[in-house]
A and B are shown apart, each in its own frame.
Chain A
């Protein structure tokens, strides 16, 4: 088993699992730093997975698929922004509603498009996009760090997330910044969804399977910092890959106990065991 853990295959499995977490966590980081709780990551991942499937299927290629995922995620992100920024809806309620909506609409469209209630047909058009997407993810982590900490947009975004009135008193428009943050968050989470669809070469109903919530936990674990959130995702990816290896190796641990591993880690994180995290001060306040 030790040999398995040190193999390239295991490392690849960790990375494979980590990519969608990391992309969703980046989106979460951006939106929460602007002061908006993004529990809708789950729905954004799922919707991105579906829209990328549509893109890859009708566009006959991986680029169209990726584009579909990004645009689909951005569109759902814009809907979320409309609800919570413009209409000032409660962020938790709207986020949950969006997740339920994404689950329903993808099932409906799946049936309408592919006449199946469980999954799309296999899509070979995805080709070998995986390696590229891994590199893109790494680049995005770096880019998000630079944007958040070095650019005027990032400075304003952090200011809006901490003290929107102060930012507004200097001519920064909190609503515009939050719209931008949520659309970008949707786009990057949608890319995470595209990864899911590309990895499995098909869309499966409900395939996000709680990843958005784990990404949210990783974001908090990373204390709302892009690089650290991605690192936390790597840790969760490791836990999940370990779980698979443990199950396969037939060690005398019940499978359900092993499967809990990533979620137990999530709960330990959220309970604040690993250092107290300071959330953006304006987080969750609709004004």
Chain B
């Protein structure tokens, strides 16, 4: 009888349980999402949000409990059953075929026919109409590989809409977007709701929840801990509900008191792409000890290449100079750079940062190949403690850790390197939960106070504003400008950086 749904419910579940081995991912979750809501589901990584969404969408049917769609219990939950009931999901990692066009990706598996052929013209027309109607700007005839991340996401949403979805589940939709793209996505989502659709958004960015949602569900450790009206709550309250305690206030920025000498100097750094165009075009910059230099920019303007070039993972032009404490390493091996004290937190945790199949200890050993066992054990102990990695067990495989905890291990491995003079951190908090972000931020600030030079590359402007002394902006592979991050002028700094990101400096 508790399973009876309220009349205008779009989708929901009752007493839902899901276990993975020893871990309870969802514990007795009951949720009800009304028609026309923008329902935000928030929580730290590992709180069970994605598992819950996957259960609702039928990817991973629950161990116990029931899923309701349109007020009726789904007897045998499956993706097919969800699609048939007009539920669609936009995954965090896009499910797009890069060599097909946007329209082909949308109609794949349900192609309109013209005789024995795919009716490409009709597919393109329908996708164009749909994109016009909901303001999802994308050229239906372009290959997905040529689309920006934001456009790819629009293709994903179009896929779901074209299949007639009334309920849209979006898993971390803003994680990969630039601020203007986020604003545009929110406009689209509001338009969808105005059109009578229901939207569920999984996120851990609180300001987004407050800007968009009509209802917020908070999850913690697999349980549903609160259901709130965002208009009557504040960001700190939400954060407290998510983490289960008060988050530390924005860390004050104590100054480095030692002698501040230049620790990283980059001159004439040029990196070519495979097609011969320049990803970085004559970039010069300098970071002093006790300073965090932020690097902002719209994705694809050379940030990734900058991190890779400094770490020694891509070839640089002959004129390039990269000085670490005065030693030119521009054409040196990764090994030499590490020995001179250059640490690197890679942008993509899975591709370069960690080997998921190996244990935490083995991952810490990477870059410390010659450390003896006791030194390695000490390094592991320090990382696990300093970064509060859970579980605090160096013998488990990395894959068993949540994304946030994996990232803590990676950041810890680089930050606690001996010696360390320069840390290049590329998107160190992308896709990780608030608790991990807080910890990583605190440690970056700590490195600054300890006199290290930190180059922080981030797509998150708030992160740069909170941590950096100066913020440089990359635009089309060049340094478009550099802004002193004066605390008192924060709003102006933000505006200056944002306009540089869009090319105002050139």
Indicate which residue in A155, A156, A163 contacts B98 across the interface (CB closer than 8 Å): A163
Q: Is B99 an interface residue (CB 8 A)?
A: yes
Q: How far is the CA of A156 from the CA of B118 in the complex (A)?
A: 11
Label chain B's interface by main secondary structure. Answer: loop
CB distance from A282 to the nearest CB of B (A): 10
Q: Give the distance in Å from the alpha carbon of A156 to the alpha carbon of B97 in the complex.
A: 10
* Contact (Cβ within 8 A) A171 B159: no
Contact at A159–B100, with CB atoms within 8 Å?
yes
The smallest beta-carbon distance between B436 and chain A, in angstroms, is 27
Query: Assuming A151-B117, A152-B118, is B95 touching A166 (CB within 8 A)?
Result: yes
Contacts of A172 in B (CB 8 A): 108-109
Question: B96 contacts which of A150, A151, A166, A276 (Cβ < 8 Å)?
Answer: A166
Q: Name the one of A150, A165, A171, A281 contacting B110, with C-beta atoms under 8 angstroms.
A: A171
Residues of B within 8 A of A166 (CB): 95-97, 105, 108
| A155–B118 CB distance below 8 A | yes
Chain A residues closer than 8 Å to B110, beta-carbon distance: 170-171
Interface flag for B80 (CB, 8 Å): yes
**Highest count of chain A CB atoms <10 Å: which of B91, B99, B104, B108:** B108
Chain B neighbourhood of A152, CB < 8 A? 111, 113, 117-118
Minimal beta-carbon separation of A286 from chain B (angstroms):
16
Q: How large is the interface on B (under 10, 10 to 19, 20 to 34, 35 or more residues)?
A: 20 to 34
Partner of A156, one of B79, B99, B108, B274: B108
Query: In the complex, what residues of B have CB within 8 A of residue A156's CB?
Result: 108-109
Quick one: closest B residue to A171, CB to CB? B109
Decide if B80 touches A171 in the complex (CB within 8 Å): yes
Closest beta carbon of chain B to A118's beta carbon, Å: 46
- Closest approach, in angstroms, between the C-beta of B258 and any C-beta of chain A? 50
CB distance from B357 to the nearest CB of A (A): 15
Cross-chain contact B118 with A151 (CB below 8 angstroms)? yes
Shortest B165–chain A CB gap in Å is 13
With A150-B117, A170-B159: A155-B108 Cβ-Cβ less than 8 Å: yes
CA distance A152 to B119 in the complex (A): 9
Cα separation A143 to B105 with both chains bound (whole Å): 23
Q: Complex formed: what's the CA distance from A281 to B98 in Å?
A: 9
With A150-B117, A151-B116 as given contacts, are A162 and B100 in contact (CB-CB < 8 Å)? yes
A158 on interface, CB distance cutoff 8 Å:
yes
Interface centre among B95, B96, B110, B274 (most CB of A within 10 A): B95
The 22 sampled A-B contact pairs (Cβ below 8 Å) are: A150-B117, A150-B118, A151-B118, A152-B111, A152-B113, A155-B100, A155-B108, A156-B108, A156-B109, A158-B99, A158-B100, A159-B108, A162-B98, A162-B99, A166-B95, A166-B105, A167-B108, A167-B109, A169-B79, A170-B109, A171-B83, A172-B109
Supplied contacts A150-B118, A159-B97, A166-B108, 19 more A-B pairs, CB within 8 Å: A151-B118, A152-B111, A152-B113, A152-B117, A152-B118, A155-B108, A158-B97, A158-B99, A158-B100, A159-B104, A159-B108, A163-B97, A163-B98, A166-B96, A166-B97, A169-B91, A170-B109, A170-B159, A171-B109
Residues of B within 8 A of A (CB): 79-80, 83, 91, 95-100, 104-105, 108-111, 113, 116-118, 159, 274
Q: What are the 6 closest A-B residue pairs judged by CB atoms, nearest first?
A: A170-B109, A166-B95, A152-B111, A150-B117, A163-B97, A172-B109
Binding site for B on A (CB under 8 A): 150-152, 155-156, 158-159, 162-163, 165-167, 169-172, 276, 281
